[in-house]
Structure 1
């Protein structure tokens, strides 16, 4: 199954309440980054063990591990979880940056060093989310 088919199957497998939000975010990210690489991570490791929620990814980033190894991965990721939606902004080194720069302007969202979480797209300021995504993408 190709990446687009995997993404569509993932979106269709979501509860109805999350399908529209993930589809809207996916379309918006494709519009923002029309030429970036699109990823789909099913959440399973090499042995088939579930290690995270499935994630749609955008762009590329060379991840560097403590042991010196590197791996190509996505820069931006979107995923659902039990409480809502997570937007991963990988590669931000200052773990306080997201919260200090966008935390108060996002609306009903929480931030961590590299993640913005919210329950529903309508509860956040989508323009501020888009600004944070573009900012993170350009920093890497």
Structure 2
């Protein structure tokens, strides 16, 4: 569920999120801001992105993508954590078993309730995603 183009700030986004998800999304936003204060939050691709960085694919495509992103989707909420982990996997993949009752893709953690998500592990992963890259 992509936010409308009229949404231009994280505060607007959080106000737009359905009321039943607003508290969970606000808590996640605050956790990210507290853990990664140097990553500027912006609205990008209809979600809140933190720490936009340039990228270039092997095929030559380029653009900007956030290190971390938070989105309210149709059936769930999503936290995206970009960057490689220690074993060549994405950090979310590496921590899959410790995250709680959630669905994990390569870089995406999907959850329906905040109570199902281990926030201590999320904080650890956000810190890794926000760490300076060499």
TM (norm. structure 1) is 0.76
Once residues 116 and 37 of structure 2 are traced to their aligned partners in structure 1, the CA distance between those partners, rounded to angstroms, is 26
Once residues 70 and 95 of structure 2 are traced to their aligned partners in structure 1, the CA distance between those partners, rounded to angstroms, is 18
Which of these residues, 33, 36, 59, is aligned with residue 33 of structure 1? 36
Once residues 109 and 61 of structure 2 are traced to their aligned partners in structure 1, the CA distance between those partners, rounded to angstroms, is 27
Matched with 1:8 is: 11
Contact 1:56 1:79 in 2 (8 A): yes
User: Bigger relative contact order, structure 1 or 2, given CA contacts below 8 A and separation 6+?
Assistant: 2
Structure-to-structure mapping, 1:47-126, within 5 angstroms: 54-92=46-84, 94-95=88-89, 98-99=92-93, 101-126=94-119
Structure 1 residue 5, shift from structure 2 partner: 5.9
Structure 1 unpaired stretches of 5+: 44-53
- Aligned CA distance change for structure 1 residues 20 and 106 (closer, same or farther; 3 Å): same
Deviations 1:40-94 (A, max 9, x none): 12x3xxxxxxxxxx21011132221233243232100000112221011123373
Deviating beyond 4 angstroms after TM superposition, the runs of 4 or more aligned structure 1 residues are none
- In the comparison of the two structures, how many residue pairs are matched? 125
Deviations 1:105-139 (A, max 9, x none): 11111111111111111111100111122223337
Structure 2 unpaired stretches of 5+: 1-6
TM (norm. structure 2) is 0.79
Once residues 51 and 58 of structure 2 are traced to their aligned partners in structure 1, the CA distance between those partners, rounded to angstroms, is 22
